[in-house]
Structure 1
Amino acid sequence: LSIIRSCVKAKTVKKLVYTSSAGTVNVEEHQLPVYNESNWSDLDFIYSKKMTAWMYFVSKTLAEKAAWKATTENNIDFISIIPTLVVGPFITPTFPPSLITALSLISGAESHYSIIKQGQYVHLDDLCESHIYLYEHPKATGRYICSSHDATIHQLAKMLKEKWPEYHAPNQFPGIDKEPPIVSFSSKKLTETGFEFKYNLEDMFKGAIDTCREKGLLPYSTINNHKKNDNFHV
């Protein structure tokens, strides 16, 4: 909100592009088959369950709603981009929070399995490009979901075992159905403007794993990693 107040004070800012989160959209008791920009997470449900990352879901939802109120009151053209789980190469010296979740099948962070049970993903570079694209698009307005791939935890584990067998990704997940339904985040509004995604799911994880290895955050192989993650530097 301090940024919005500064924009109002400057009197020269006409458009503001904001990075929101999928956590503002689908955190609720019963998952829908498809989510779009009209959906919002259920704060009462989040408060009652206090699941992994619950404080993040609450803060992002409240922050975006407050931003919408402030920009509407001050006639600022506001664009909110809603990325799903962001995966890919990175420049920070430590694990980005999204990769703690995305690579949980490698690191053994089992508390994050519930988040990727019915997961949605986007490559970091596609997300960055969407910000520039929508900022420059003369008719862009409102919320935009930015998500290119959906995958259940079983589909993700299968890919990791095939492409990176040295990490011994688990294939059994107690408490998770063997075939949970796909939950999709629709990027139809974004792609109908002409935006095109460039990267697939394997590209995302290759970029993330390669960068982790280069930075010494991830070993080159593991044994029984799903039981012990002492070699991972978060």
Structure 2
Amino acid sequence: MTWRRTLNVLRSCVRAGTVRRVVLTSSAAAVSSRPLEGDGHVLDEDSWSDVEFLRSTKTGAWAYPVSKVLLEKAACAFALEHGISLVTVCPVVTVGAAPAAKVNTSVPDILSLLSGDDARISKLEFIERVTGAIPMVHIDDLCRAELFLAEEKAASGRYNCGSVNTTVVGLARFLAAKYPQYNVKTDRYAGLTEKPRVCISSAKLVKEGFEYKYKNLDGIYGSVVEYGRALGILPY
């Protein structure tokens, strides 16, 4: 199991005696999978996915957020017991180019409104229903954040990592205006929520001194669209 492998790595760090800090990549799934009524919710690093709720409802890929919560808490308990400096990063939907000819990442999902892939569009809609938003971060910013937290002496605990909180409607409108050649059908999403019900906040990371390079949809999609074209997900 993943948590056992993680603890094995931490045990190796203890035995080595030379590791100054461990940066653990978790997921915003460990933050946002919880019952939330109404709008205007802000989820910070004190927010945890509700394991009992997920186990009782078993909705969608419920085991994934449960595993992320259990892994984080087990790693934190081990680090506290053995005096390890552990920082946990919880990235949201992560997109960007990768050195691979095929992708099994969030990129096809994020490009689905342009490609017209109905199965992927349904996945985006599911993310919004479960999370209350479509939160995104560029892979370059995630990597930079992890390096930043590895080196920042004051860093401790959990850090959410995401630069944009939007919705399927917001994405559709942006993409229809930015890339008219793909004929995004904005009226298809007319019945969906226009504004995010939930904001996954990265205020703690920014307060530490980190600055996102890709701060808006225009910045995120520029390189991702080019990557999708190179992979054949999108036509030129």
Q: Same fold (TM over 0.5)?
A: yes
Which protein is richer in helix relative to its size? 2
Gaps of 5+ in 1: 222-234
The amino acid that maps onto 1:129 is R
Q: Give the alignment of 1:130-141 within 5 angstroms.
A: 130-141=145-156
TM-score, structure 2 normalization: 0.84
Residue 205 of structure 2 is aligned to residue 205 of structure 1: no
Partner of 1:24: 30
Corresponding residue pairs, total: 219
1:128 paired with 2:143, answer: yes
Q: What residue is the counterpart of 1:189 in the other structure? A: 204
Q: Give the share of equivalent positions with the same residue, in percent.
A: 37
8 Å Cα contact 2:111/2:228 also seen in 1: no
What is the deviation of 1:129? 0.6
1:212: how far off? 2.1
Distance 1:180 1:114 in 2: 16
- Secondary structure in 1 aligned to 2:83? coil
**Is the deviation greater in 99-108 or in 18-27?**
99-108
Q: 1:177 aligns with which of 192, 211, 228?
A: 192
Quote how far apart the aligned CAs of 1:170 are. Answer: 3.8
2: CA distance between counterparts of 1:85 and 1:165? 24
Pairing 1:71–2:79 present: yes
Matched to 1:113, the amino acid is E
d(CA) in 1 for partners of 2:178 and 2:59?
Answer: 31
| Counterpart residue type for residue 152 of structure 2 | H
Deviation at 1:93? 2.6
Which residue of the partner structure matches residue 46 of structure 2?
38
Rounded to whole Å, the distance in 1 between the matches of 2:13 and 2:193 is 49
- CA–CA distance in 2 between the matches of 1:92 and 1:156? 26
Task: Specify whether residues 11 and 129 from structure 1 end up closer, same or farther in structure 2 by C-alpha distance, changes over 3 A only.
Answer: same
Farther-moved stretch of structure 1 (147-156 vs 159-168): 159-168
Q: Report which stretch shifted further, 148-157 or 57-66.
A: 57-66
Comparing 27-36 with 72-81, greater Cα deviation is found at: 27-36
Give the 4+ runs in structure 1 shifted more than 6 A. none
CA RMSD of aligned residues (A): 2.1
Q: Which residue of structure 1 lines up, in the alignment, with residue 3 of structure 2?
A: none
User: Contact 1:101 / 1:116 at 8 angstroms: preserved in 2?
Assistant: no
Q: Distance in 1 between matches of 2:19 and 2:81?
A: 14
TM normalised by structure 1 equals 0.84
Distance change in 2, residues 1:178/1:145 (3 Å)? closer
Give the AA of the match of 1:177: L
